Structure 1
Amino acid sequence: MLDKMRENAQSWVIKLLFGIIILAFIFTFTSPQGDSETVVAYVNGDPIAVDDFQRLLPRTANQEPDAKRSVLFQMVNMLLMEQVAKANGITVSDAELVRDINSNPQFQTNGVFDMDRYKALVGGKPERFEENERVKLLLGKFNRFAALPAQPSEPEIRSLFLWQNEQAVVEYTVISPADFFAQTESHDDEAQAYYEKNQARFTEPAKANFEYVAFTPAALAPGQEVTDQEVQDYYETAGATLVSQKRYEFRHILLPVGETPTQEDVNAIQKSMAEIQKRLAQGEDFASLAKRFALPGDTAPGEPIWMSPAEMPDELAQALAGMEKNTISRPIITQAGLNLVQLVDVELPRQMSLEEAKPIIVDRIAQEKAAKILGDKLDETISQMNQGVKLPQIAENLELAVKETGPMTREQLVEEFGLNAEAADTLMTLMDGNTTKTPLKIGNGGYLVASKIDDLPETVMPLEQVRQQIDVEIRRAKAQELALEKAQEVLVEGAKGQGDVLATYAPKLKETEPFVRSGQIAGLQVDPKLTSDAFTAKPGQWLPTPYSSANGYVVARLKETLPASEELWQQQKQGWAQAALEIYRREMYQAVNNSLFERANAKGAVELVRPDLLN
């Protein structure tokens, strides 16, 4: 359809008329009952083609039968809407179709419709594209037609606003599993059962050790000579682009924890940190405390150090980014332990001096030179490999460095070198002492030649080796159960209004900031169900269940609800009117959509011809 538009962008009228004739011919003379092999279903006699149905299926459809039914349901609904639209005199003229296609930015060059671009993007079947566009426009008109009755009144708009902007405040406490860890034990039979059930977790995967030569600009750069004049010329040309990183000068106190700390260890560290904070609050000098708590091997305890964010744990970098000079952070948890820092100074990014930039420039120039000889080195290596020369001798002949990977799994090879899966398999399946037949491409654009030294088969770590880890996990699970039981006790006694457990935890209740139904609770990462339950409770009532959070179980009671303010309503009234209109339109459209399908189904107007395609 619209061939003339595709052949000659200036001559629309002839083809528009021709398109109308084609459409009339199709709808007048085409039989409503086509070949059942090519039709998946009929809707009021109109077919849904198998090709169209299969084209819309997701790739995972064969594993998800519900996905097939969902696609067919959508196609039936769209055809029903199209039929109702036409029955009500809603049509799309050829002029509207042309205007829609002309105005589509993807078919334009410099804001003007481009016929060549259109042909290239639409492909060999523009008629299908144009008919699909016509249906989209028709359904858009139908949607607007169906939504015409959706006109919410001001009281309805205001009720939506009030519902959305009502706020709640809850009182809560967190019952932490850490408080119960010391009460738990791990017994031999439990550890044995846990070990047997989770043996896959304690299995060391197969590994292999390789010696290799990397052919990358970075690997070949050390052998390249770079003159001072080359460095000077580079700096004069591109020195403005060589900018230092932001750096922080700070003092640091670290209270380390072991790999598997007990609750007693955690309690001791927290107690020590609390004592340090107390002494700082009393005016003691941070530097002197840093010296007292310095770790063995610290060559300058208490002295400030300079580091960039990239050189430190993310948690420290984030804390320092929000601090002012001469202030002290809150305790910061990192993998190493509990940290406290004092910010001394900040150095902002600046252009590097020639002396500072020289190592960077030397490396860049050396890599540029190395990239030019990389191909030659690779060719020489392949030639010597074909002659049976061993890898260490090849490396010596070409003045290259041979490195050893150490034991690595297939996945570690992929991650470390950027190998694809096939190349990693090639390495893992090499026989001991054998070298890759050809260089393997690696992730940074270079190549790798490797020889296997030895294989380390998959092994299961003995129980004795992982017993400590298992004990900690068993005790954590038990502590979790005890915390949940205690949280449930609080709620039971809370409902009664008395009890020893309630008396213990009620004084610990904290109060949240006011929150709305659709928002998060500031400072409390908790199961979102707490939010919805808060708006169904009465003031003073405990919420019905403990809610999981990152730190344990939250028990809470509603303190109060706060209505939305009149001032906010006046500020947002216009926006809520538009939002309510969109909500009502969607609901009206969905109601019409559902009604059309239910009516058609009840009358037997939807006939499934190929149920086998849904299996």
Structure 2
Amino acid sequence: MMDIMHSITNTNMRKIIFIILIISFLITGIGGYVIMDMNDYVVKINDTKITSIQLEKIFQDEKEILQQQLGNEFIKVSDNKELLYILRHRALERLIGMTLFKQHSKKLNLNISDEYIKNEIYNMPIFQTNTSFDKDKYKKILSTYHISADQLANEIKQNLINRYISSMYMKDEFILDNEIKQYAKLFLQTREIKSMKLDLKNYLSQQNVTDKEIYEYYSNHKKNFLSPKQVQINYIKLDIKSQLNKIKVTNKEIKDFYKKNITTFSIPEKKNYSMIQLDNIESANLVFKKLLHGESFDKLVLEKSIDKLSAANNGNIGWFDTVSTPHEILAANLTQKGQISKVIKFGKYYVIFRLNDIKEKKIKNFQSVELNILNIIKNQKATDQFHILEKKINNIIINNKISLNNIAKKMGIKLISTKLFDKNRIPKEINFHKLTDIIFNDILLNNNNPVGINSGIIKVDDTTIFIAEIINFKPEIIRSLKDVKNIIINTMQFNKAKISMTNDGNKILSAIKNNDKNILKKFNVHFNDRKIVKRFDQNNFLIDQIFEIPIPVNNIPSYASIQDTNNNLLLIQLIKVIPGIPNNNDLITLSNRYQIILGDIMMESMIHNLRNKAKIVMNASIE
């Protein structure tokens, strides 16, 4: 549990900023942001109220993220009050940060054209089918989530502004060459070490546990020996996948779809650009004049461009389609290969662009997309059929007090029964937390007895629904001492062995530091041969700790004890630290990494400053 807490509370700022930029973007965040005039607010940030609905939405997002990280282990900790408190607190912090960021962006009076927003929507994967914009899919998603086109456009506009502000911090940080070199030397540093291992299994066999100790441990840790409650359920499942095999598509439908949507089956025109970047208008104008007088663009890139990353590649900045091309380049209207732009103000820099190459727009032939179209139509028909059946089931449930068995018969869907299971052993077929939350939260029970009612429709995702009922139940009980005696013995032997091993490790290191070489003979251990470790060697867990050992002073080795993944104790002697020797490729790569780190720090500082200046009022009437 403590490991989980640690990983949650130490999420790096880069992830937080990413969430700030994205969370207000689509579907997961829009619903919350359009509800602002409610008295039921949790916190007021300047003039913006955060409602309990918004907080609950982000809280559920946090739970989803944690479940993805932990997988099946999530169910073991999902009821932990301390963990839920941390998740809820983090959700609140996210909302505050998002709101402050949004307020700050509005003050900058930045604007995004309607055409740019339209292109952004067209290129969102959620609205695409086979990499092309699908108008019907777009309308259906907006309808499903009750989002208007204007609401979506406003959220995308805000997100684009957020991304622009972020890029100011991520890309425009000025870094001295010496800074990069020092960072590269540190990053590529290697360490010369010796190590020895104290094996836990050698200590386990030496540990004795008395009956008195066993009884005391059992008495003090009874909650650890709860046998979890078990349930047996009946359920029916409906999903889009099950409808696919029932769908038939004619050749005429496929050809008609291709003709109707032929523009979507195209590879857009792409252009490849190079640039010369300068830090002042005078230098830029001078370079532009030299270009007009016939001097080589590639030569001037190497000599004059201050962007060393692109300069190392003859100024090349890559391929762009119309949507992904910065508007500054679009405004230059470069249409011929080899054509150069005038001097363009780009952020705080001055840039001259060259159009290197053009890949023309191409329409894909029918044969190359026929199978894709077949799948599109089948999926759409299966989705439509799924929603028809979902609505039919819902009407049956609403209009009749009907058993799950009768629902299954009416719908022609198979009724499935499980065996008894608990939270730690959920059948794979029903392992969806939205479903298991309802199964285990006692809604379908009355005084530990099944109430004989179904759960109603449980939508676990956009493609799958369940209806379930509990048919058998066993409450949680404390297991007897007899049942858990061996578990207690193993646990106590393990704990005692670790303490004994750690004490021996401390004794050995203390003696070595005092030049007592007899200690190694006493414990029958020795250091292995010297070896060089790199920051990117395998077993990152150990490497990270080795690189945290203090640097030796006056050629006197440093020491540390590290527990490996098998709970053995490694005693490390750090002999010396060897600075890295970066080559040009290393410097280019690490310059980008270092810039991102500085950008993260600047973004974190900005959010911190915004928070210090903001008026944040918690609603004391709401927990």
- Into which bin does the TM-score normalised by the smaller protein fall? 0.3 to 0.5
TM-score (norm 2): 0.46
Q: Which structure has the larger Rg over C-alpha atoms?
A: 1
TM-score (norm 1): 0.47
